Every structure is written in C-alpha cells, then in structure tokens.
Structure 1
Amino acid sequence: MPGSAGPATRFPVRDQVGAAGAVMKEAASSLLETRGIIKEYRRRRVVDQVSLQVRSGKVVGLLGPNGAGKTTTFYSIVGFVRPDGGSIYLDGEDITGLPIHKRARKGITYLAQEPSIFKKLTVEENIRIVLEPLGLAKNEISNRIEELMVELKIEHLADNKGHALSGGERRRVEIMRALATRPRFILLDEPFAGVDPLSLADLQQIIRDLKKKGLGILISDHNVRETLQVCDFAYIMSNGQILTSGVAEDIIESEVARKMYLGANFTM
C-alpha cells in the first residue's frame, strides 16, 4: 500500500515487559461475570436471564445470529446500557450501577465493531490522544506508545495516517488503543470483520498472546470457526437467551447449536 512503509527502527525493541504484559500480570485471579441480566426495549426482552463468566487469561466467545442479544449483553457489561434485571460483578463486586468511566478505571474496556480510529491522525497520534487525558508524564506517554507499538508489531506504521491503513492494520491500531489504558478485560465486538485472511490469522495470534499475558477476553464475531479456534469456552445465544455453552468441541457437537446457529454441516 502506498505510504504504508515507515521507519522500522523508530521504536527499537527493548528488553522489558510490554505495556500490555505489565497489566495482565495484575489480573491473575480476576473474574468478570453477569448474573441473570435482563434488558427490555419496548416490551421486548432482548436479553433474558443471561449469565456468563470471563476469567483472566481466558478467551470466551459469545456467539449467535443477528438479533440474538449479543451486542446488548456487551453494552450491559461495559456500561453503555443498564440492565433491567440481574447484576454484573467484577471480582465479587457489584458494578451494575457504575458508569462507563468507572468501569474503565476498574479495567474493563470495549472495542466496537465500527471503526474507531481517527483517519486524519497518524497511528502514533491515535494512541497519544487516548493517553493524554490520563494525566501521565510526557515521557511515560512516549514509553507506553513505544511498548504498545512493539507489542503489536506496528512500529513501522507510526507515521501513517489512519485512512492509509488496511483493515488488518486498522484493527491492530484499535486493539492498541484499547490496551493503552491497561485493562484487565477487553470485549471485542466483531474483531475479524472486514479483515483479510492473513490479517485474520495475525489477529488470532494477538488474541492468543494477550491471553498468555493474563488478559480476560470476551469475543463476539460472525466468523464462528475463527472465533472458536481461539476460544477456551463459548456461549451460544439466540432470542436473548443462552442456549448452550462449553468448549469448542461441545459447541460443535451440540444439536441445539447446530439447529439454531451453526447448521448441520458445520465443521472446524
């Protein structure tokens, strides 16, 4: 791509724990969970008694057809909407009533399906704009940007504008922005959407690397096969309810999952 090349040595690799890795060590025993959450819109129950768990160092999938209630469940966990019933807990603390910014401070972040980077800003500026409101010293901001760039292998894109990035590169930058605040849990909504096969494999590896460093990850994506390949556990959702759950093998063999979502001929 024109303009995609940048100074590969701008951010030299240093012998240190990356920004993401530093955070995840703190999250060794964390648990994020929903307990019977309910959400209704115009008397229609779009989320109906949904209970799920995400632990540190685990990747969990929330899968299902359009309109299943996955996004509303995500919104409830992050704090965009407040459930009409049930509760959300972080390490045993009821955070159901906390606003978004307080949940973020506790280590919960969300990566939306829609593009979230600023197209007219460079990659470095896109991450800097997230860090500056945190009140960090300038050198700490620069160090954190450097660590994240190296962590996600995009230091060569530092000076590229957002509009010049490929789908896979954009997704990497968006993940980098989400990691900048050093979360313990990240919710990924359609992380593989609009990404070519090679970049998709790279994103899968990034997710595996984040898992190894202790981050708890909840994924919703219509690329079922690719999502199950990185998941330790998954929930299948339809009409606002959890139909079944289990490891990938359990999901694939589930008659309910095949009938309501996967299809009879689905294979890995």
Structure 2
Amino acid sequence: MKYEQIKVLEEEKFRRLTGVKRSTFEKMIKILNEADKCKQGKGGRKPKLGLEDRLLMALEYLREYRTYFHVSRSDGVSESTCYETIKWIENTLIKHPDFALLGRKALLKSDREYELVLIDATETPIERPQKKQKQFYSGKKKRPTLKTQVIVDKKSKAVICTSFTHGRRHDFRLFKESGVRIHPEIKTVTDTGYQGLGKIHSNSALPKKKTKKNPLTKEDKRNNRELSSQRVLNENVIGMIKRFKIVSDRYRNRRKRFGLRFNLIAATYNMEIR
C-alpha cells in the first residue's frame, strides 16, 4: 500500500508529496476514523483500501489534480470508487470544526484581537462554460475564471473568510455582494481595485492612484510602498493555498464544489500555522 511506503519519509518530503504536514495528516485520519465507524454500521461492502490510503488518494488528487481515471489506476480501484471516496473525505473534513473558517461574522465582533486585515481577490481559470460565457470571462486573465475573495488577519496570517463569484465581477463589487462587514476599530488594507471602500469602512487604507493632472509625490510613493509591503502577506497566503493545483490550474470539475475545496484547503493552511 502507498501509505506503508511513504510513512517513513522525512517531514519535508512527506509534505512535498501530500501537501500537508504529518501532524495534519494524523488529525485528518482521526476525524475520518470516527466518521468511518458510523458509516460501517449502515452496511455495504468493505473498502478495498485502508483509511490512510484513501486519505492519501484524496490529498494527491487535490495536490496534483490528475483526473479521477489516472488516480484510480494508481490506487487499483474503479473510477467511480475514487470519485465517491474523495467526495466523502472532503465532505467529512469540511464539516468538522477544526477544518472550518471563522466566517465573516467574526469581523464584526469587538472582542476579537484583529487589528489589521488584508483583503484581496484571486482568480482560477476554468473550462469554457456552455452557457453564460460572458459572466465568467475575465478581462484581466483573458479567459473564463472563478474569482475568490480572501480576507487574512495580518497578525496571525490566518484566513478569516472567503467569498466566490464568476470572473467578470469586479473586486469591489464582490466585496459589497459578499455581505462582509468589518468592525470600525479594525483597519483594512487593500489594493487599488477597492476604490470606494472608504465610504463603507472608514478605517481603510489603499494605494493612491496617479493621474495625468495629479502625479504621485514622494510622500505618496513612500506610502504606497508601505502598503505594498503589508499587502504582500495576502499574496503569500494565496500562494500557499495554490500549492494545491486544483485551485491554481484550470478547474475541470463542477463549479458548485469549488468553494468547498478552496475553503478546505484554506482551513488546512490555518491549522498548520497555529
């Protein structure tokens, strides 16, 4: 079995292969084992693969984003079994409190220790949809995409909440439609795509844009560099999440499960930085 071969790997190589730390893998096994015991009482055929190998199959799918057919051939199971196994693992983990994001309501609580949050959006290419192609076409990427808004706490570097829409939607419009409301004492830092955020949240900072009549002064350039050095953390967090190719390569699956998978990977990232 695959897990018997890789469990002796060093921590760094284990993470390179699976995308998660060994401690996170063991935590996932514990959660899945409890759910599997409840599942066994309902009857059905005993799985061919052990729980560790089934989890490894799901992680390899998220990490490498090969087709179900190729993953099933590597693990010696049918394509339908591979699909059902990965789906069950994703659904089981996302329901557990340890793999859940705090959500947008956490930003309204005054007792939270958030001092500065970073807001940014990223895009994932998708296959050209058969219907409503204009809604998904991104003028920036020049192809159909799905857009994800990511809000990160500057201090803990953790993802607080996410929001999703089609690629044509503007970043600021996505923020307004996401229903995110931030406590007045919490400062936000964004890029220039969020012009007008100050009308909704006064305690916000974003780079100043130059015009032909009003070029940037040295003070403006210095302030922009300072904001850029703060915003780079959000880019780094998105980069860590996109180590899993399922959210960075062209997404081939049904779009309705994209948000679940992105949130699961983001929650896994949060667990590993604690």
Q: In proportion to residue count, which structure has more strand?
A: 1
* Bigger Rg, which one: 2
Q: After TM superposition, is the score higher than 0.5?
A: no
Q: In proportion to residue count, which structure has more helix?
A: 2
- With structure 2 as the length reference, what TM-score do the two structures score? 0.25
- With structure 1 as the length reference, what TM-score do the two structures score? 0.25
